[in-house]
Structure 1
Amino acid sequence: MFFSTDHGSAIDKNKVWSRTISETYFPLSVECRDATRFRGSLKSWGLGVMGLSEMECDGVMYRRNKSHFQEEKDNSLLITIPHVAEVRFHQASRHTRCAPGGFLVEQGDMPYEFSHSQRNKLWVLKVPTASVQSRVGPTERLSALTFDARSGIGSYFVGAVRNTIESIDVINDAAREMAGQHLLDLLCLSMRSDDRILDSSVSTIRAAHLQRAEQFIRDNLSNPNLGPQMVAESCGISLRYLQGLFAENECSVAGYIRDRRLTRCRETLEMVHDTSTMAQIAQKWGFYDQAQFCKHYRAKFGCTPTETRKQRRSAACV
């Protein structure tokens, strides 16, 4: 999709830009810094479960209020990569700035303010919160964090975003879905390399043990032998101690494993061009009893795996 505000009155530009941004990401209120002279353009593409866009516009303020997401069922994160000037962001008690050379995480299910005072170019990824949670854990600790993209995996991630945008018009829909999965994995890998996402809600030692156990689980979801005992042994702790760590978060080890596996199954089912059978998807992520898989899937998502695939493919045809 491509959109531009080259023509129209100040009132029209503000309304049209607000509608365009809300349709591309999620409902937001928009206040153009100078609506009379405002110019903006936006290109957006679907990459499977992820959305990617390139935006150029003059100074603007975006506000996300409670009324904007009260009835939303699927939460998302926005990952913003500025190119020309810094952006400012405020969410909960955190105020941050992100300059070119970094990227910013915005949590869609909490109020926030996002702004830049001068003309800017941004790359923005819209990512399902559940997909990030299945790879890095709770996303609350990511809100309003700025990550360095000048070196290491962060630089590699932004480079992959650039390559995707430059190649987007010459790859087919199936390749776009695979590109989306690649970007999602790189994004989460770059965030995981930052010590700030360590959960500090418990003591340092217990937090480190829990973090290590959760990450071992997320990295081994496709291992058919993954279970509480394997997790405990890999982390060098007792099974009882491991179960206590998860109990503090009102979850069992087996339940945590199952929920992350279900989320990964749903990601695959929502890939319109994936040709895997239902059984293949279930087995890839550790479910070998089809009836139990369907039962747990319905309990978590409120529909069957088949319904998810049909709904996604029907929506893609509209």
Structure 2
Amino acid sequence: MALGRPVMNSTGAQTDAWSGAFLLDSTASGVAAQDFDGLQRLWDTQLGDVFPMPALSPDSVDGIRARGRLARVRDVAIVDVHGLSAVRSVDAPGSVDDMVMMYTVRRGAWTFGGPRDRYEHTVPAGQFLLRRFGPWPRFETMPNTMNRILILPLSVLSPLLGGRSVTGPLDSAEMRLLMAHVNMVHATIGDLGPAGVRAVHGALIELAKAVVKGRFDDVEPRLAPSLAQAAKELADRHLTDPELGPAMLARALNVSLSTLHRAFATEGLSVSTYIRRRRLEEARRALTAPHGGLSVSEIAAHWHFSDSSHFIRAFKKRYGRTPKEYARSTRTADDRN
């Protein structure tokens, strides 16, 4: 098991943001008790002040296999869990303080409660659930469930939620932005200074509030990096779509074209430039694929360049060689090796 440790700043003092990873496999001979104790210590050290680890059923403990990562930004905690085995919790004495939690399930399913509980709900793959929990409900997961859990500040989110739950698809505009921002937090948390921590924390709160309201403030400058990142992630999944462009991305993210362009401008980049650059990168890979066999004109058409001449000019400007020259030099280098 790899235990997460707080990220330290340059002076050695613990910051308001840290991350860590865990790996738990109690199916290996003779390590079940040790690994479970390690997970308990990890949970208590890094998340115990947010909420205690739920009581797991004995069969779950004996066969639990999971890996994941943790991140904490002030009073927001992010727990990514890939549960290879099914997991069930059991009723435990006492209760925990009320919490606002968001469950985003990318694979499998996460079920809360049961017939005798006041609250019963299943979150399937591609959906999210945001609600105030208290006390901790029983839950059960399918094998190979991938879930991202956000623990959010009660004082900020509870007045907006009231007693209701918010559910919906992960591909809604608000959820795309929130998940893109969380991905950036994971990628940059080790380099954040005090100002960076304040910025990413403020954006996390604003985006979580946007999910509750079903809309976000598209002129809020703190959200521009998240909007640009969400647009990039969406564009990356649609590079072969002939309709891909600024208008398509703006519609999917429920923002105006001017708002989208402003978000990219903060990075000194245009939306169209990003799309063209990513298509060129994929075309470059296709040129050197071992069993690709596509001609230059076929690659140009596949990645939606207007014609072969346009593709060749753009490729040479980006990489300093024509597509044929690049492919030939790559094959020559491979032959030498």
Scaled by the length of structure 1, what TM-score is found?
0.50
Q: Helix, strand or coil: the match of 1:68?
A: coil
1:100 alignment partner AA: A
Q: Helix, strand or coil: the match of 2:196?
A: helix
Q: Helix, strand or coil: the match of 2:125?
A: coil
Distance 2:128 2:136 in 1: 19
Report the more deviating stretch, 153-162 or 27-36. 27-36
Counterpart position of 2:55:
29
Of 102, 106, 116 in structure 2, the residue corresponding to residue 79 of structure 1 is 102
Aligned sequence identity (%):
13
Higher gyration radius (CA):
2
**Equivalences for residues 265-276 of structure 1 within 5 A:** none
Of 121, 124, 128 in structure 1, the residue corresponding to residue 149 of structure 2 is 124
Are positions 1:192 and 2:213 aligned together? yes
**Per-residue CA shift, 1:21-63, capped at 9, x if unaligned?**
4652512212265544422233222212211222222321234
Q: Is the 8 A contact 1:52 1:124 kept in 2?
A: yes
Q: Is the 8 A contact 1:14 1:30 kept in 2?
A: no
Q: Is the 8 A contact 1:33 1:59 kept in 2?
A: no
Are positions 1:89 and 2:115 aligned together? no
**Per-residue CA shift, 1:111-155, capped at 9, x if unaligned?**
411221202222211112111135x152x212xx43222122222
Of 50, 67, 70 in structure 2, the residue corresponding to residue 44 of structure 1 is 70
Counterpart position of 1:176:
197
**Per-residue CA shift, 1:85-107, capped at 9, x if unaligned?**
11112285332211232222253
Q: Is the 8 A contact 1:90 1:96 kept in 2?
A: yes
Point out which structure has higher relative CO (alpha carbons under 8 A, 6+ apart): 1
Distance 2:145 2:193 in 1: 29
Provide structure 1 residue ranges, at least 5 long, that are not aligned to the other structure: 195-318
Q: Helix, strand or coil: the match of 1:157?
A: helix
Counterpart position of 1:67:
94
Of 111, 114, 126 in structure 1, the residue corresponding to residue 139 of structure 2 is 114
Q: Helix, strand or coil: the match of 1:83?
A: strand
**Equivalences for residues 1-318 of structure 1 within 5 A:** 1=4, 2-6=21-25, 9-18=31-40, 20-21=42-43, 24=47, 25-27=50-52, 28-31=54-57, 33-57=59-83, 58-63=85-90, 65=92, 67-69=94-96, 72=97, 75-90=98-113, 92-134=117-159, 136-138=160-162, 140-142=163-165, 145-193=166-214
1:126 alignment partner AA: I
1:88 alignment partner AA: T
Distance 1:32 1:177 in 2: 41
Q: Helix, strand or coil: the match of 2:94?
A: helix
Distance 1:100 1:121 in 2: 8
Provide structure 2 residue ranges, at least 5 long, that are not aligned to the other structure: 5-20, 216-337
1:122 alignment partner AA: N
Distance 1:64 1:26 in 2: 15
Change (3 A) 1:173 1:103: farther
Q: Is the 8 A contact 1:84 1:100 kept in 2?
A: yes
Change (3 A) 1:39 1:190: same
Q: Helix, strand or coil: the match of 1:150?
A: coil
Change (3 A) 1:80 1:184: same
1:123 alignment partner AA: R
CA RMSD after TM alignment: 2.9
Distance 1:62 1:174 in 2: 39
Q: Is the 8 A contact 1:49 1:177 kept in 2?
A: no
Q: Is the 8 A contact 1:44 1:52 kept in 2?
A: yes
Q: How far did residue 165 of structure 1 move?
A: 2.0
Change (3 A) 1:157 1:168: same
Q: Number of residues paired by the alignment? A: 186
2:112 alignment partner AA: F
Distance 2:138 2:123 in 1: 13
